[in-house]
A and B are shown apart, each in its own frame.
Chain A
Amino acid sequence: MSISIGLSLLSLLVLGAPTALFASLGIVTLLGIPLQERTISRATLITTLTGLVAALGILAVMLTTGSRFVPIDLGNWVDVESLHFHFHVKFVFDRLSVPFVILTFLLCGTISAFTSRYLHREPGFTRFFLLYSMFLLGMVVSTAAGTIEILFSGWELVGLSSAMLVAYFLERANPAINGLRVWTVYRVSDAAFLVAAIALHHWAGEGDFARMVGEGTWPSGHSLLTPQQALWVGPLLIIAAAGKSALIPFSGWLPRAMEGPTPSSAVFYGSLSVHLGAFLLLRISPVLEMSVFLSGSVVILGLATAAFASMASRVQTDIKSSLAFASLSQVGVIIAEIGFGLRYIALVHMLGHACLRTLQLLRAPSFLRDHMEMENALGARLTQYQGFWEMVLPQTLRDRLYRFALERGYLDVALDEYIVSPLVGLLQQCDRWERRWTEFLDGDADLESDHVPVVTDSLEEWQ
């Protein structure tokens, strides 16, 4: 009895610490109270440390008691009997979520310590940490989620904070453009996720994972959905995961996301955020297991992404893009492992990869120094590193592959040309129709917005 109370307390600590941090930073910022750098970084460090210790506590209890499944039920928050609908707030600590929560706290804690020095005297210091705490909360909520709606809300927090941190340097155009791009891709994947969640509700009246993956503890659950239903929900969830984890065809956003300060790039796109899609697939792996089609497509998607990304990584001429694609290639492999049903391997792979890549990205500004050190050790300038495939392939094919890799698989262009631009064209056509219609009604061909200057003048230029 006391063990279960202790477990609940620990879990509440795990969830409560990031919530408290986000709430307090958010409220204080909202009230416009300026905060000291030291206060913010101390608060963040203490929070992550508390969370980490609590999560380790849960792990210890689970190991000693042999319990492998600790649900934390906060009851129904919305309950509409007549429609058989209820919104159930439930968190689950099991073999999947506990390691992931620990990883989240560990990396976030380390990175926040790093950032508090790295961003010293930066005007956006508070904003960074506010978004960062939002991200932390999102990660913890989505990893520990026990229902699909809770996972979705955490997922949204992660998405929002990622996009805002990509656009962290608001004063330049590129971060804003790329942030918007990331956000758009996230919206697409969120839409798929949301439809899946609604479909699930429709069939089951609830979004509990227990319903999808069975009552058994992860990874040994068996889905209670019918194969028919699985075939509906599965692809939607795969799209959701593909958007979040930058799998083909969404891969283009990942290198573009390297716009924020180095540590945020490291923790988001090197480690945690980019693995969230894989985490989702891991969570619902019993559903994938039900159909060869689903698991087959996951394998193909993963392998194709991995092959493409490892090629792209080799030709990138800047360190961050190169690491972004490297990271993506491993995410692809992890996704493929999930498709093959190698859940433990995928989990271990994910944890290891997150740590390794974070370290590499944090050290990215040291690249020149590392490169020189390596040259000095080898006693010569580094020559081209010939990969196996480059040696066997004929010249023309090799050149073609190089182009394919340098152009990042033409993925962005393809999305722009075949999806975005027809859509934009359609909307612009609608705009023209609407305008014609208002002009007809108004009897006047002049709109107020026509006179808004395209380029506004800045005062400093006044002479």
Chain B
Amino acid sequence: MASCSRREVLTQNTYVVRAFPSSGVRNRPSRFPYGAIEMAYSQPMLQSEMETTETLTDDWLRQDIETAAQLLPGQGPITAFAFVNPLQAMEGLPFDEGLQLGSRLYGCQPYLPEGRYREMLEKGRIRCEDLIEVLLETLGDRADQLIGRLGTRFHFQLAMLEHPLRLGSSAELKWVVAESDALVKFRPEVSEKTRQSMLRRTEAWLTLPEANADAPGAENALRKVLLQRFGHDFADWSEGRWTRVCLNLLWNVCRQGVHQSPNSHHASTTGPIRPRDVIWNLQGEDTDQLVHEVLIRFCAAYLDQGQADWSMPNSDRRFWQAFCDYYSQPARIRQRWLKPLPAILQQLRASETEPLQLIRNILHGFGISQADAPNFLRQSLLAFRGWAGMIWHMESRPDRVPFPVESGTLIEFLALRLLLDQLAAQHCAKKLKHGSAIVWSDLRQQAGRKGRTQHALQLDQRAFLIFQLAQVRNWHPVELLQQSPQEWQVLLQEIEGFSNLERRRIYHHAFERAYQSKALDAIAIHTRQPLTERPVPKFQAAFCIDAREESFRRHLEAVEPAAETFGTAGFFAVAMQFRGVADAYYATLCPIVVKPKHWVSEDVALTEEEVHRRRALVRRTLGAASRQFQVGSRSFASGALLSAGMGVLASVPLVMSVMFPRWSSRVQASARQWLAPPRLTRLRLERTAETPGPNNGGIGYNIDEMTDICRRSLQDIGLTHRFARMVFMCGHGSECLNNPHKSAYDCGACSGNPGGPNARALAAMLNDIRVRTNLSKIGIEIPLTTVFIGAQHNTCNDTFEYFDLDLVPTSHLDDFRAARAALEKACELNALERCRRFASVPRQLTPAQAYRIVAQRAEDLAETRPEYGNCTNAMCVVGRRDRTRGLFLDRRSFLMSYDPTQDDSEATVLGRILGAVVPVCSGINLQYTLSNIDPVGWGCGTKLPHNVSALLGVMDGAASDLRSGLPWQGCDIHEPMRLLFVMETTPDAIRKVMSRNEGVRNILENGWVQLSLLDPVTSKITVYRQGEFHPHVSRTSQLPRVTDWADWFVGKEDNLGFVERCEEVSTQTP
């Protein structure tokens, strides 16, 4: 077991631990990860060449590397897709700051491109009033400052937000000015009035030279230029000609003004530090291309979890050792830049150089000072972050892969990468230096200079910005002409200070606010009705918190008004390693941050044992045969026999599965029936041994543990009284084909596995009379007439699977049948609602047709969007279902049941819930949001060329770094915004929770989610901003109503507004 203590030390009760290293290894000044990152970015680099790297001790280096490792993607193997905030390491910083820092570190976009926001502005998705609100909030006191004589800062920035400023490279601008109508026509949004006034004043200025006799020389010179170009016959000039004169004047004035003021605004990029970037800047050659080709091949072969038929010899050796073994043999044919490698490796071996020592030597060789070392190491790791992150994951979470690596592997990896970097850089730099010795610090400065001149805005670019703004803001050329150089300076600073990044930030917040205010309005209106005590429901059903279940629950409640639903984390507080009856090994069914201490297995009922044995044998035989076939088809001789002899037969499944997916999957399913394990099974839940273990008596829980789990999960959702005769516990999973990211569709609270077994286990525990007796001792009385049933909702084809139905007593059979009918009806309606999002599906469907379509998508090899997972999520409601029941939330809301009236004054239950819900839901939301903002940077790009590698992840095409994040096909309809939490509690309670739990506090306080509270008694809504709770101001007082949900959504593809359902509203008002 490697050093896993750093990342997670967990108890049953705290499910979340933030990923920060505990300091204390050494006494260097405080090295909180993001602090160090900040420092490195604010300091000018490489000033201290005098400091040698010799002073870097092993401990310092090790800590630097571990700090950098916190930034690596924490996703782990793709078979258990983990939804974590890609910027988890930045959660200690305010949202925008962390995001922008992350975007610089990873080289990804922090917000959407400006053009996208402008489209939203035009379509009304961003509202002007929100834009103004956000801008005023940002500017504060600075809003009303006057910028020269041209208006206040607020108006000035608003103009920049409302009207698109175009900018191109210098060459492009030259073309625009010379060839386009930029100097011929005003910008389209300039009003007629402004236009006329501009024209008239230009006319006045130009035609009355004597009035300006004392004007400065520059002004007269300009006039002369214009007169020369356009002539003197003003009287005949058409309006078009005047426009051209006016715009030409403006353009010239802007250029002159910009020319006067030096370009003080340098792009904030610091010089390159990695040799790769130096060479890239200087000669456009990418040494990473060379290095990564070697690394991809070696890492995949070394870390392979069993994909290759023939795995690397000696892969049980340490990473560094294996690499030395592999590459130290001299080979005649080798890439030129790698030629010195064997000699170097042998020398390193002979001198017994440790990887850390090697890293130090290389830092020294590159002339990296001690101050720059952390930054350099971080950049070197992040340049190949897919595999580096996987190594770190395998080393720090050895429990999550079958073949983990030893601790310290990341250091060895880094040493290897730097060694290769060095070789490749030296090889390429030779061309730069033509034989003379390479001095890296010189090259670095050279590259830095080159980078800066390239990044600085050129004269024309700066002038063009003002030129555009002047038209929109009605700044007359003559006024501009009379500005002093100081005023120009101020103006330019103001424009360039309100950068593209800042503008996008403001758009983004305004965009979020539009949804926020609509959502809170809707909830405010909906919660106006007083809550009434309902009769005991016919049945109750608990689902996962998942946004996908929102629509399902809504439909279920509409189909059966006498039903009640709950939402809870999908592992139902049963953290376990689970092995199904036909599974080869245990799978982890609990959130990723939890390490389960219990094992549960599924056994076949005694009566079926013989059938099971027989079928297992058949499966094994067929499995062995298909393995033979798979391996054989790729080999020489048996491949020839197979493909020549039987190959043509492959065209049958090929054509069938592509052209008739439904039919072919039916054939397969009926064939499988003869192989599947018997359906009569039991979970082995009760432990006989003292301590838990994966075998025999160790499997399961004891009664006290079961009681505790049951108590917890019932208290969490507030189901402690009013039990119906039948209570369903519904986990969920997703069944789809040809999709390496399948586990991203499964239950996130079960580490990307189907959560049915958890629901089944909880139901079985709750049915246990001993558990019920224990529960009654602590005040939870479950009537003897109540039966719990575990089930699993397949979110892809919308079907339900029920567990242990043979145990349903005959007295409850009718109840079950009625409930099942309602669930089935809800499935169809849910399918109908899901179908509206699929662009390739007809707009008008009946529920039955929709049901067929979703089933078909699940069985289609060619379908890249079998379902949309939690895509479009935007809100998370933590509170009683009655507060949102009957409100259309558009599958965009996580729903967590929590009854504030049952909680104690310390908000213990709320704290427990939020400890899991806040990080999990914000992680899911930020994963979708960032993957949508920059699909290639934060996400893993498009699915189409993905290539499964080493059973650990996917590459793009033939060879690339491992790609983490979500595929574009999984998040293309998402609207990027931070999750809006609506919690039914008081400011006091939430403050108590925040003071107890640092992780939750970081996320809430730093704005990684938006937080609002719904008062349990008064139903007043408050919004959390800058550490304070402000009352929400409603803008609407009425919600539309429908009688049938389908009326609202059928035929529409986009996100929809909020709506109430008449019937449910009226049932609430007595």
Is B650 positioned at the interface, with any CB of A under 8 Å from its CB? yes
List, in ascending order, chain B residues with CB within 8 A of A402's CB: 310, 312-313
Q: Find out whether the CB atom of B860 lies under 8 angstroms from the CB atom of A117.
A: yes
List, in ascending order, chain B residues with CB within 8 A of A453's CB: 454
Q: Find out whether the CB atom of B654 lies under 8 angstroms from the CB atom of A319.
A: no
Distance between Cα atoms of A174 and B288 in the complex (Å): 12
Distance between Cα atoms of A335 and B643 in the complex (Å): 14
Is A127 positioned at the interface, with any CB of B under 8 Å from its CB? no
Distance between Cα atoms of A122 and B742 in the complex (Å): 20
Q: Find out whether the CB atom of A378 lies under 8 angstroms from the CB atom of B329.
A: no
Distance between Cα atoms of A168 and B355 in the complex (Å): 40
List, in ascending order, chain A residues with CB within 8 A of B284's CB: 454-455
Distance between Cα atoms of A120 and B651 in the complex (Å): 24
Q: Find out whether the CB atom of B584 lies under 8 angstroms from the CB atom of A417.
A: no
Which residue, B331, B644, B655, has most C-beta atoms of chain A within 10 A?
Answer: B644
Q: Find out whether the CB atom of A406 lies under 8 angstroms from the CB atom of B972.
A: no
Distance between Cα atoms of A349 and B647 in the complex (Å): 8
Is B582 positioned at the interface, with any CB of A under 8 Å from its CB? yes
Q: Find out whether the CB atom of B651 lies under 8 angstroms from the CB atom of A106.
A: yes
Distance between Cα atoms of A461 and B499 in the complex (Å): 10
Residue total for B at the interface (Cβ-Cβ under 8 A):
109
List, in ascending order, chain B residues with CB within 8 A of A398's CB: 313
Is B951 positioned at the interface, with any CB of A under 8 Å from its CB? yes
List, in ascending order, chain B residues with CB within 8 A of A255's CB: 958
List, in ascending order, chain B residues with CB within 8 A of A348's CB: 644, 648
Is B861 positioned at the interface, with any CB of A under 8 Å from its CB? yes
Is B863 positioned at the interface, with any CB of A under 8 Å from its CB? yes
CB distance from A350 to the nearest CB of B (A): 9
A37's nearest neighbour on chain B, judged by CB, is B840
Q: Find out whether the CB atom of B634 lies under 8 angstroms from the CB atom of A117.
A: no
Quick one: which of A177, A362, A399, A463 contacts B313, CB cutoff 8 A? Answer: A399
Q: Find out whether the CB atom of A352 lies under 8 angstroms from the CB atom of B643.
A: yes
Q: Find out whether the CB atom of B268 lies under 8 angstroms from the CB atom of A463.
A: yes
Is B280 positioned at the interface, with any CB of A under 8 Å from its CB? yes
List, in ascending order, chain B residues with CB within 8 A of A403's CB: 326, 329, 331
Q: Find out whether the CB atom of B949 lies under 8 angstroms from the CB atom of A318.
A: yes
List, in ascending order, chain A residues with CB within 8 A of B946's CB: 262, 365
Q: Find out whether the CB atom of A376 lies under 8 angstroms from the CB atom of B582.
A: yes
Is B178 positioned at the interface, with any CB of A under 8 Å from its CB? no
User: Given A385-B309, A453-B454: A364 and B860 within 8 A (CB)?
Assistant: no
List, in ascending order, chain A residues with CB within 8 A of B311's CB: 315, 384
List, in ascending order, chain A residues with CB within 8 A of B324's CB: none
Interface of A is mostly: helix
CB distance from A309 to the nearest CB of B (A): 8
Distance between Cα atoms of A80 and B217 in the complex (Å): 77
Is A310 positioned at the interface, with any CB of B under 8 Å from its CB? yes
CB distance from B279 to the nearest CB of A (A): 10
Q: Find out whether the CB atom of B950 lies under 8 angstroms from the CB atom of A259.
A: no
Is B93 positioned at the interface, with any CB of A under 8 Å from its CB? no
List, in ascending order, chain B residues with CB within 8 A of A162's CB: none
CB distance from B364 to the nearest CB of A (A): 28
User: Given A261-B945, A322-B308: A381 and B585 within 8 A (CB)?
Assistant: yes
Distance between Cα atoms of A121 and B840 in the complex (Å): 9
Quick one: which of A177, A351, A384, A459 contacts B169, CB cutoff 8 A? Answer: A459
Is A66 positioned at the interface, with any CB of B under 8 Å from its CB? no
Interface string of B599-637 (1 = CB under 8 A from A): 000000000000000001001101110110011011110
Is A345 positioned at the interface, with any CB of B under 8 Å from its CB? yes
Q: Find out whether the CB atom of A326 lies under 8 angstroms from the CB atom of B639.
A: yes
Q: Find out whether the CB atom of A329 lies under 8 angstroms from the CB atom of B634.
A: yes
CB distance from B626 to the nearest CB of A (A): 6
Interface string of A148-177 (1 = CB under 8 A from B): 000000000000000000001101111101
Q: Find out whether the CB atom of A368 lies under 8 angstroms from the CB atom of B312.
A: no
Q: Find out whether the CB atom of B861 lies under 8 angstroms from the CB atom of A377.
A: no
User: Given A255-B958, A355-B651, A459-B169: A378 and B634 within 8 A (CB)?
Assistant: no
Distance between Cα atoms of A402 and B298 in the complex (Å): 12
B581's nearest neighbour on chain A, judged by CB, is A376
Q: Find out whether the CB atom of A121 lies under 8 angstroms from the CB atom of B644.
A: no
Q: Find out whether the CB atom of A318 lies under 8 angstroms from the CB atom of B862.
A: no
Distance between Cα atoms of A364 and B861 in the complex (Å): 10
Interface range for A: 35 or more
Distance between Cα atoms of A373 and B860 in the complex (Å): 18
Q: Find out whether the CB atom of A410 lies under 8 angstroms from the CB atom of B658.
A: no
Quick one: which of B620, B631, B643 contacts A385, CB cutoff 8 A? Answer: B631
**In residues 367-424 of chain A, which contact B (Cβ within 8 Å)?**
367-382, 384-385, 387, 390, 395, 398-400, 402-403, 405-407, 410, 413-414, 416-417, 421
Interface string of A352-369 (1 = CB under 8 A from B): 111111111011111111
Which residue, B78, B647, B861, has most C-beta atoms of chain A within 10 A?
Answer: B647
CB distance from A204 to the nearest CB of B (A): 35
Q: Find out whether the CB atom of B647 lies under 8 angstroms from the CB atom of A364.
A: no
Quick one: which of A122, A455, A461 contacts B281, CB cutoff 8 A? Answer: A455
Is A457 positioned at the interface, with any CB of B under 8 Å from its CB? yes
Q: Find out whether the CB atom of B634 lies under 8 angstroms from the CB atom of A113.
A: no
List, in ascending order, chain B residues with CB within 8 A of A263's CB: 862
Q: Find out whether the CB atom of B308 lies under 8 angstroms from the CB atom of A378.
A: no
A254's nearest neighbour on chain B, judged by CB, is B958
Is B740 positioned at the interface, with any CB of A under 8 Å from its CB? yes
Distance between Cα atoms of A81 and B653 in the complex (Å): 54
User: Given A366-B738, A374-B623: A114 and B862 within 8 A (CB)?
Assistant: yes
User: Given A355-B654, A454-B281: A259 and B945 within 8 A (CB)?
Assistant: yes
Is B903 positioned at the interface, with any CB of A under 8 Å from its CB? no
Q: Find out whether the CB atom of A377 lies under 8 angstroms from the CB atom of B634.
A: no
Q: Find out whether the CB atom of A174 lies under 8 angstroms from the CB atom of B942.
A: no
Q: Find out whether the CB atom of A329 lies under 8 angstroms from the CB atom of B636.
A: yes
Distance between Cα atoms of A318 and B313 in the complex (Å): 18
CB distance from B450 to the nearest CB of A (A): 8
Among listed B332-340, B769-777, B885-893, interface-contacting one: B332-340
Is A257 positioned at the interface, with any CB of B under 8 Å from its CB? yes
Is A98 positioned at the interface, with any CB of B under 8 Å from its CB? no
Among listed B148-156, B299-307, B529-537, interface-contacting one: B299-307
List, in ascending order, chain A residues with CB within 8 A of B636's CB: 306-307, 310, 329, 333
Which residue, B268, B282, B636, B861, has most C-beta atoms of chain A within 10 A?
Answer: B636
Q: Find out whether the CB atom of B945 lies under 8 angstroms from the CB atom of A367.
A: no
Distance between Cα atoms of A53 and B620 in the complex (Å): 42
Quick one: which of B455, B584, B653, B936 contacts A380, CB cutoff 8 A? Answer: B584
Interface string of B179-190 (1 = CB under 8 A from A): 000000000000
Is B695 positioned at the interface, with any CB of A under 8 Å from its CB? no
Q: Find out whether the CB atom of B633 lies under 8 angstroms from the CB atom of A413.
A: no
CB distance from A29 to the nearest CB of B (A): 20
B739's nearest neighbour on chain A, judged by CB, is A365
CB distance from B585 to the nearest CB of A (A): 7
Distance between Cα atoms of A390 and B943 in the complex (Å): 36
User: Given A318-B300, A351-B648, A384-B311: A117 and B863 within 8 A (CB)?
Assistant: yes
CB distance from A389 to the nearest CB of B (A): 10
Is B1 positioned at the interface, with any CB of A under 8 Å from its CB? no
Distance between Cα atoms of A37 and B742 in the complex (Å): 26
Q: Find out whether the CB atom of A121 lies under 8 angstroms from the CB atom of B309.
A: no
**In residues 311-355 of chain A, which contact B (Cβ within 8 Å)?**
313-323, 325-326, 329-330, 333, 345, 348-349, 351-355
CB distance from B78 to the nearest CB of A (A): 7
Q: Find out whether the CB atom of B950 lies under 8 angstroms from the CB atom of A317.
A: yes
List, in ascending order, chain A residues with CB within 8 A of B945's CB: 168-169, 175, 258-262
User: Given A174-B960, A375-B584, A414-B333: A117 and B840 within 8 A (CB)?
Assistant: yes
CB distance from B839 to the nearest CB of A (A): 6
CB distance from B647 to the nearest CB of A (A): 2
Is B583 positioned at the interface, with any CB of A under 8 Å from its CB? yes
Quick one: which of A118, A315, A462 contacts B944, CB cutoff 8 A? Answer: A118
Listed by A's residue number, 18 A-B pairs whose Cβ atoms lie within 8 Å are: A113-B658, A113-B862, A177-B289, A259-B956, A259-B957, A315-B312, A318-B959, A326-B633, A326-B634, A357-B643, A366-B739, A368-B948, A382-B306, A403-B329, A454-B284, A455-B280, A459-B167, A462-B267
Q: Give 6 A-B pairs besides A321-B959, A462-B500 with Cβ atoms closer than 8 angstroms.
A: A258-B957, A349-B647, A370-B630, A377-B626, A454-B283, A455-B454
